[in-house]
Structure 1
Amino acid sequence: MFQSISQCLNSTTSTLFHARQVHAHYLKFGLFSNTQLTTTLLTLYSHYLPFPQLKIILSSLPQPTIFSFSSIIHSLARSRHFHHVLGAFSQMGSRGLVPDSYLLPSAIKACAALKALKPGRQVHAFASVNGFGSDSVLMSSLVHMYLKCNRIEDAQKLFDGMCDRDVIVWSAMIAGYSRLGIVDRAKELFNEMRNAGVEPNLVSWNGMIAGFGNAGLYDEAVMLFREMISDGFLPDGSTVSCVLPGIGNMKDVLMGEQVHGYVIKQGLESDNFVLSALLDMYGRCGCASEMSRVFDEIDQTEIGSLNAYLTGLSRNGLVDTALEVFKKFKAREMELNVVTWTSIISSCSQNGKDMEALELFRDMQADGVEPNAVTIPSLIPACANISRLTHGKAIHCFSLRNGFFDDVYVSSALIGMYAKCGRIQLSRHCFDIMPSRNLVSWNAIMNGYAMHGKARETIEMFHMMLQKGQKPDSTTFTCVLHACTQNGLTEEGWHYFNNMSKEHNVKPKMEHYACMVTLLSRVGKLEEAYSIIKEMPFEPDACVWGALLSSCRVYNNLSLGEIAAEKLFVLEPDNPGNYILLSNIYASKGMWDEENRIRDMMKSKGLKKNPGYSWIEIGQRVHTLLSGDKSHPQMKEILEKSEKLSIEIKKSGYLPMTKSVLQDVEEQDKEQILCGHSEKLAVVLGLINTSPGQPLQVIKNLRICDDCHAVIKIISRLEGREIFVRDTNRFHHFKDGVCSCGDFW
C-alpha cells in the first residue's frame, strides 16, 4: 500500500483527484506519522488548492513538522503567492515550529516582493537572535528586501556588516543608489567593489544603467554604457533595453543608430524587449520612418512591440496610421491588452479624434478588456476637448465604481475635464476630496481657475500649494500668469514673472514670455510688449508673435501688426489665421487695397480662412453649426426664434456692433452677417431644444466677437438661462445679463 501511494503521489500525472484519494487513505489508515509521504501530499495539494484550504489540511495534521510547512512555503513562493507565504510562516509560529536558514530567505523574499517593511524587520530580528547573522545568503536576501522597501540606509548598514559580499549583493547596492539618482555613491561603490577584488558582471553594469535611466539621469546612463564597452564588456539585450530609453529622451539619434547597428551585429533583433526599446527610441527622437522600418521588419509581432509602435506613432502625430495599424492587428484577432487599448485611446484623445477615443473605450469594454487607472486619464481629456459633460460624468462614475478615483492622475484629469466643461465648482469639489495630491493636481485646479478668468482663486491656490510644501514648476507659473492675463493684472503678472526664478528657481520659458506679451498687449501696452520680445534670451516663436498680432488687431495698431505678421509669415507660412488678422487691421482702417493684397497672397498659397463654427451638446448628440451655413435640419426654427429674440433685444436698447464685420458691404448686410455667427445659432438651437431654465453650453473654435458677446448677455437675462461659452481664449459664463469675464477677454 505504501508503495502504491508513493507512486501515485510521485506521478507527473497526479491531479487534485489523486491527492484527495490519497488523503482519504491517510485518514482511514492513520498514515500522517510518515513525514515523507505527508510532505509529498502537501506539496501536491499546494499545486491545486488556495492557501485557506491548505491551512485546513495543515490543522488536521496531528503533528505537523517543519518539512510539512517547507513544502507548502516553497511551492507558494514559486507561484509568487507572497501573502500566503507570510501566512504559512505565521502558522508555523503558532505551532511552535522554528524556521531554519533554508526557509527564512523565502519569508524575506515575500517581504521584499510585498514591500512589507514591518514583517521584514521582524524576520531580520529573528535571524539575528537565532544566530543566522553570519549566513551570507540570508543577509544578502535582507539587503535586497531593504532596497525593495526603499530603505537604502538600512541596506547599507547591513551591507557594511557583511563579511562575505559577492557580486550579487554588491550589484544590488549599486543598483539601489543608481535608482535613487545618487550618482556619486553608486560610482563609489562600483569602484570599491573592484578594489575588493570582486569583478563586476553584466548585472552590475545593467543595474547602474537602468537605475540612472529610471532616475532621469540619461547622460549618466549613456556615459556608463560607453564606459562598459570600453572596459571590454559586451552589452546584452537587457543592457540595450536599459540604455535606449535614455537615448530616446535625449533625442540623440546618432547614438541610437549606433546602438541599433550593434543590435543587428550581435543578432539581438529577436529580443522582444530590445525591439520595443528601439521602437520607443525612434519614436521619441521623431524618426517615424525609421521606427516604421523596424516594425515592418519584425517576423512575428508581439504585443510589446505593437504597443511601443502605436505610442511612437501617436507621439509623432500620426494618429491615422496608428488607427490603421490597430484595426489591422485587431482584425487578425491578436490578443490586445489594456496597454494596447490605452495607447490608441490616448493617441486619439491627444490628436483631435475625441469621438473616436470615446468609441474605442466602448469597444474595449465590449471586447472584455478591463480599463485601468492609466486608461481613464487618457480618455477623460477627450470628453473635455468637446465638452461632453454627460460622458465625462459617466466616466467619473465608472472611476468611482472601479476604485480609480483615489488615483491622483485620474482625479487630476477629472478636475481638468470639469473645468473645460464649464463646471469649475465640480473641479474644486474633486480637488477637495482627493486623498492625496501631487503637483499635477495643483496645476490642474489652478489651470481650471485661470481658464475661467478667476485670478484671485488661482493666486490663492498657488499660495496654498506653497504652504503645503509643494514646489511649483514651469506649468504652475504658466497657470498663474495666464490668470493674470485673463484679468489684465499687469502688476501681479510682473511680480510672479520676476519671482519665478529668484524665489523658486524656475527659469522662464517661451510660454511665460508669451503670457507676459499677451498680458501687456491686451491692456494696450503694445510697445512695452514689443520691448519684451526684443529682450527675450531666445528667438521668439509663433506663439509670442501671435499674441502681439492678436492684440494689434484689437487696438488696430498697424505698425506693430505689420512687424508681427511678417515674422509669422516666415514662422508659419501656411497658417491662414495670421493673414486674416493683418487683413482685418487693414480693413478696420479702410485700407481695402492692402486688405485685398493679403487676400491675394492667401489665394496664391492655397490658403482659406478657417470657418467659424460652434457646437452644442443636446441630450446624447452634439450639433455643429457653421457661421452662415443654413444646412442644419432645424434652421427654419432657429431663424424664427432668432427673429423674435432680435426684436426683444433691440427693445432693451441694443444696437448691432457692425464694426465687427470687416467687409466692404452695406450696414444692412453687416447686420445680417452678424446674425449668422455660429455661437448665436448654437445658443438659439439650445433654447428651442431644452427645457426652460436648463443651462446651455457652447464651444466656439475662434474668439467670440463683441456683438455675439453682447447679444448672449442679453439672451441670458431675457430667457433666464445660464449660458457657458468656451472660445479659444477662455470660458464665458453668462447669467442675468452679466458675463464672468467682466467684458475683458
Structure 2
Amino acid sequence: MAAQVVLQPSPPSLGPRKTHHHHRLGTFHALESCSTMSELKQFHSQIIRLGLSSDNDAIGRVLKFCAISEFGDLNYALQLFDRIPQPDAFIYNTIIRGQLQTQSTRTCILLYTQMLCRSVLPNKFTFPSVIRACCIEDSIEEGKQVHAHVLKLGFWKDEFSQNNLIHMYVNSYCLDDARRVFDKMPRRDVISWTTLISGYSRWGLVDDACKVFEMMPERNSISWNAMIAAYVQSSRFQEAFSLFNQMRAEKVELDKFAAASMLAACTGLGALEQGEWIHRHVEKSGIELDTKLATTIIDMYCKCGCLEKAYEVFSGLSHQGLSSWNCMIGGLAMHGQGEAALKLFKEMENEKVAPDDITLVNVLNACAHAGLVQEGRHYFDHVTKTYEIEPKMEHFGCMVDLLGRAGLLDEARKLIDEMPMSPDAGVLGALLGACKIHGNIDLGEQVGKRVIELEPQNSGRYILLANLYASVGRWDDVANVRTLMNDRGVNKAPGCSMIELDGVVSEFIAGGRSHPRAKEIYLKVDEMLQCIRSAGYVPDTDGVLHDIDEEEKENPLYYHSEKLAIAYGLLNTSPGATIRISKNLRVCRDCHHASKLISKVFDREIVVRDRSRFHHFRGGECSCKDYW
C-alpha cells in the first residue's frame, strides 16, 4: 500500500511581503529628498510598479511635492489628481493649497465644493486655505458658509481657522463679524490680536485698534508694530512716537518692521534726529537692510531735508532696486535739484534698470520744480515711448504743472483738451495754481469753479480761487467763495509747522498760543521781524483775503506757523545751527521773503519742507530761486 502524503498548508511567505514593505519605505524615504521633477517622476514610476497607484498615502506624497514644493509642477499634480479614484482629505487639502499658491482662488472654492459632494469630510487643515481663498476672491457669502462648516464640524477651537476667519471678515469690512469670531475664541494667539488691530486700522478705526491693543495680555514686537503702523498710516505721528517710546521703555526689541514704521513717522514729522537714531540702531543691531527698509531710510533723509545722507545710503547699497532709484530721484526733485535728478535718471538707464510710472512722475516733477520745460517735454515723450509706459492722469498733471509754472498756460490747456481721459481735480488744480501765479483771472475763474465741483470738500481749492479774486480786488467774489465754503461746511486747514529739537517735535499753529513758551516765542518773532525790516522786509499782503487796511492785513502774517517755528529754533539752537521745519501747507510769499532775510540777518540756514517741495534759505537766497 502506497504511503499517503498529507499536504500541509505552507506557512505564509514573509520574504516577498517584507521586501515589498522595504521597497515602499525606501521609495518614500527617497521621495523626501527629491529636488527636481525628473527625480520625482522616477519615484512616481516606482510607486506604480509597486502597485501603489491607488494608495492615497503613496500618491499623496507625490502630489504634495508637485503641488506645493518650490520645485514642483502644479499641472502634473492636477493630472495626477484627476486619476485618483477616491481622494481623501489630505489629497484635497494638498491640491487646494497648490491652487492657492498660484492665486487660483475660485478653483480652491470649487474644489472644496467637490470635496463635500464626494462626502470627503474636511479637517482642520482644510479650512485655513479655503477661507483664505474666499478672502482673496472677496467671496464673503461663500466664506460665511465655510464659517458655518467650521462651527458644525467642531473646529471653533482651531486657532488657524479662526484667525483666517477674522482676516476674511476685516478684509470685507465685516468688522462686527470679525469681532464676534475674536470674542468667542477660547484661546487667542498674537496673530488673532494683530489681525484685528490691523483690520481696525485699515478701515480708519485707529481708536478701536488701540483699545484692542491695550487689552492684550502679552505683546511682542509684531503687536507693537501693528499698533505703531496703525498710527503712522493714519498720519497720527505724535501718537506713534509716544507708543514707540513706551515700547523702548518696555525693552521690546526693535525689528525691521517697527523700524520701517517709525522711519515713516519721522518722515511725516520731519524728525531727523529720531530718524538718524533709528538708522544707527539698524546698523548696530544687524537688522537686515532689505530693499524696502533701505528705501524707507533714503526717503526719511530726503524728506527730513538731509539729501547728503540720503545719497550716502543710496550709494552704499550693494544692489539698488527700482524703488531706491525712484526714491532718490524723487528726493532730488523735491529739493529743486532738477538737473541732478535728471543726471541720476540717466545713470539708472545706463544700469539697465527700466523705469516705471513712479519714475516718470519723479522725473517730470524734477523738471517742473526747476523750470526745465524743454527737458520735461523730452522725457515725457522719451520714457513713454521707449519703455511703453501709458501716460496716466498723474503724468498729465505733472506736465500741466510744468507748463503752467513756466507761464505756458495755452499749451497747458491744450494738453488737457487732448488728454485721453477727463481731467481730474489734480490736473485742473495744477492749472488753477498756474493761473494764480501768472494772474490769468478769466481762465483761473473757469478752472477754479470746475475744480471746486470736482472736490467740494477740499478747502484748498476754494482758498486758491478766493486768492485769485483777492489779487484783483474782487471782494464780493471772495465773499461768495467764503459763503459757499460755510454753506458746505468746509473748513480751511490751519497752517501748521513742526520743528524737532533734541528729539522732541514741537508743533505750531498759525496765531496759536498753546505752547508753554508762547510769550517768549512771540517776543522773539517781534524782534526777528524788527531786525529784517532794516534789511528791506515789507510785508506782502496780497494773499490776505479780507478787504481791510494794509496795517491790519500785516498783523496775521506776522504770526504764520513757520515764523513761530523759526523763532523757536532761534531761541533753542546754537549760533550757526541749521533750523529745519516741516509745514502742512504751501509756503506763502510773505513767509518765503521773510525767511530769506532771516537767513541772512541771523546767519542761519533754514530748511523748510512745505506741502510740495523743500526750500533751503541761506544768505538771503532760496534754493528754489523764487520759482515755486
TM-score (norm 1): 0.72
Tell me how far apart the structure 1 counterparts of residues 246 and 197 of structure 2 sit (CA, whole Å): 17
- Matching of residue 221 in structure 1 with residue 108 in structure 2: no
Q: Does 1:468 align with 2:351?
A: yes
- Cα distance change of structure 1 residues 326 and 193 upon mapping to structure 2, 3 Å threshold: closer
Aligned counterpart in structure 2 of residue 445 of structure 1, from 304, 307, 328:
328
1:324 to 190, 195, 211: 211
Report deviation, 1:489: 3.0
The offset of 1:737, in angstroms, is: 2.0
Give, in angstroms, the shift of residue 712 of structure 1.
1.0
Counterpart of 2:426?
A: 543
Indicate how the Cα distance of structure 1 residues 250 and 168 shifts in structure 2: closer, same or farther if over 3 A, else same: closer
User: Equivalent residue for 2:67?
Assistant: 175
User: Could you tell me which residue of structure 2 aligns to residue 726 of structure 1?
Assistant: 609
Q: How does 1:120-131 map to 2 (within 5 A)?
A: none
Contact 2:109 2:134 in 1 (8 A): no
Letter in 1 for 2:496: Y
Query: 1:463 Cα shift?
Result: 3.5
Contact residue 167 and residue 201 of structure 1 kept, 8 A: no
**Is 1:555 matched up with 2:438?**
yes
Q: Encode CA deviations 1:645-690: one digit per residue, 9 max, x unaligned.
A: 4444344344332223232111222223322222122112211221
Cα distance change of structure 1 residues 540 and 301 upon mapping to structure 2, 3 Å threshold: farther
Given that 2:497 and 2:565 are in contact with CA atoms closer than 8 Å, whether structure 1 keeps it comes out as: yes
Q: Within 5 Å, give how 1:160-309 maps onto structure 2.
A: 160-162=41-43, 163-165=45-47, 166-176=58-68, 186-192=74-80, 194-195=82-83, 202-207=89-94, 209-211=96-98, 213-214=100-101, 217-218=102-103, 220-230=104-114, 232=117, 236-245=123-132, 247-249=134-136, 251=138, 253=140, 256-257=143-144, 259-260=146-147, 263-264=150-151, 266-309=153-196
Shift of 1:351: 1.0
| AA aligned opposite 1:164 | Q
CA change 1:499–1:237 in 2 (3 A) is: farther
Secondary structure in 2 matching 1:614: strand
Q: How does 1:44-193 map to 2 (within 5 A)?
A: 135-143=26-34, 146=35, 155-162=36-43, 163-165=45-47, 166-176=58-68, 186-192=74-80
Query: What secondary structure sits across from 1:699 in the alignment?
Result: strand
Can you give the 5+ residue segments of structure 2 that lack an aligned partner in the other structure? 1-22, 48-57
How far off its partner does 1:136 sit?
1.4
Report the equivalent of 2:623. Answer: 740
Matches of residues 652-663 of structure 1 in structure 2 within 5 Å?
A: 652-663=535-546
- Does the aligned pair in 2 maintain the 1:696–1:721 contact within 8 Å? yes
Residue by residue over 1:529-569, the C-alpha shift from the partner in whole angstroms, topping out at 9 and shown as x without a partner, is 44444555555444334333333333344444445444444
Q: Structure 2 vs 1, CA of residues 169 and 732 (structure 1 numbering), >3 Å: closer, same or farther?
A: same
Tell me what 2:269 maps to. 386
Equivalent residue in structure 1 for 2:292, among 381, 388, 409: 409
Q: Give me the whole-angstrom Cα distance separating, in 1, the residues matched to 2:320 and 2:430.
A: 33
Number of residue equivalences: 593
Alignment correspondent of 2:10 = none
Determine whether 1:604 maps to 2:468.
no
Give the CA deviation at 1:317.
Answer: 1.8
Gap change, CA 1:202 and 1:714, over 3 Å in 2: farther
Q: Deviations over 1:188-237 (max 9, x none)?
A: 44214545x576555555445545545xx53x232343245246466655
- CA gap 1:228/1:618 in 2 versus in 1, 3 angstroms: closer
1:526–1:245 distance in 2 versus 1, CA, 3 Å: farther
Distance 1:366 1:692, change over 3 A: closer
Question: Deviation at 1:693?
Answer: 0.3
Of the candidates 568, 571, 577, which is equivalent to residue 685 of structure 1? 568
Contact kept in structure 1, 2:579 and 2:605, CA below 8 Å: yes
SS at match of 1:660: coil
The verdict on how the C-alpha distance between 1:228 and 1:622 changes in structure 2, with shifts beyond 3 A counting, is closer
Letter in 1 for 2:110: R
Distance 1:188 1:396, change over 3 A: same
Gapped runs of 5+ residues in structure 1?
1-131, 147-154
Cα distance change of structure 1 residues 207 and 474 upon mapping to structure 2, 3 Å threshold:
farther
Cα separation, 2, equivalents of 1:419 and 1:707: 26
The offset of 1:369, in angstroms, is 3.0
Pair 1:222–1:387, CA change in 2 (3 A): same
Residue deviations 1:221-271, cap 9 Å, x none?
Answer: 323432452464666554442354455455555555555455455554433
Partner of 1:98: none
Which residue is equivalent to 2:198?
Answer: 311
Q: Is the 8 A contact 1:482 1:515 kept in 2?
A: yes
**Would you say the 8 A contact 2:448–2:461 is kept in 1?**
yes
Change (3 A) 1:192 1:302: closer
Q: Which moved more, 1:310-319 or 1:614-623?
A: 614-623
Show CA shifts across 1:294-331 (max 9, x none).
Answer: 434545433221111111112112212111211123xx
Mapping of residues 482-493 of structure 1, within 5 Å: 482-493=365-376
Calculate percent identity across the aligned residue pairs: 35
Matched residue of 1:161: which SS? Answer: helix
Change (3 A) 1:365 1:657: closer
Q: Say whether the 8 Å CA contact 1:208–1:221 is kept in structure 2.
A: no
Compared with structure 1, are the counterparts of its residues 384 and 337 closer, same or farther at alpha carbon in structure 2 (3 Å cutoff)?
same
CA distance in 1, matches of 2:394, 2:215: 40
Tell me, yes or no, if the aligned pair for 2:106 and 2:137 is still in contact at 8 Å: no
Give the Cα separation in 1 of the matches to 2:435 and 2:123.
59
SS at match of 1:728: coil
Pairwise CA distance, 1:340: 1.0
Question: Is 1:342 matched with 2:228?
Answer: no
Indicate conservation of the 8 Å contact 1:611/1:627, yes or no.
yes
Equivalent in the alignment of 1:375: 258
2:505 matched to which residue of 1? 622
Of 539, 555, 558, the residue aligned with 1:675 is: 558
Query: 1:223–1:359: structure 2 CA closer, same or farther, 3 Å change rule?
Result: same
Q: Which amino acid aligns with 2:62?
A: W
User: 1:691 Cα deviation (Å)?
Assistant: 0.9
SS of structure 1 residue aligned to 2:499: strand
Amino acid at match of 2:468: I
Q: TM-score, normalised by structure 2?
A: 0.85
Q: Residues 489 and 170 of structure 1: is their aligned pair in 2 closer, same or farther, counting only changes over 3 Å?
A: farther
Root-mean-square deviation (CA), in Å? 3.2
Q: 1:656 to 1:212 in 2, by over 3 A?
A: farther
Q: 1:511 to 1:649 in 2, by over 3 A?
A: same
Amino acid at match of 2:219: L
Relative distance call for 1:160 and 1:269 in structure 2 (3 A) is same
Show CA shifts across 1:99-141 (max 9, x none).
Answer: xxxxxxxxxxxxxxxxxxxxxxxxxxxxxxxxx9994123211
Q: Once structures 1 and 2 are overlaid, which stretch shifts more, 578-587 or 288-297?
A: 288-297
1:594 paired to 2:465: no
Evaluate the alpha carbon distance shift between residue 401 and residue 201 of structure 1 in structure 2; reply closer, same or farther with a 3 A threshold. farther
**Pair 1:173–1:486, CA change in 2 (3 A):** farther
Residues 434 and 665 from structure 1, CA distance in 2 versus in 1: closer, same or farther, beyond 3 angstroms? same
What residue is the counterpart of 1:46 in the other structure?
none
Give the conservation status (yes or no) of the 8 Å contact 1:174–1:204.
Answer: no
Match of 2:46, SS state, is: coil
Residue 520 of structure 1: aligned partner: 403
Cα deviation, residue 604, structure 1: 2.4
- What residue number does 1:61 align with? none
Matched residue of 1:335: which SS? coil
Alignment CA distance shift 1:261-1:593 (3 Å):
farther
Q: Following TM superposition, by how much is the alpha carbon of 1:576 offset from its aligned partner in structure 2, in angstroms? A: 2.2
Task: Give 2:42's aligned amino acid.
Answer: G
Report if the CA contact (8 A) 1:175-1:204 is conserved. no
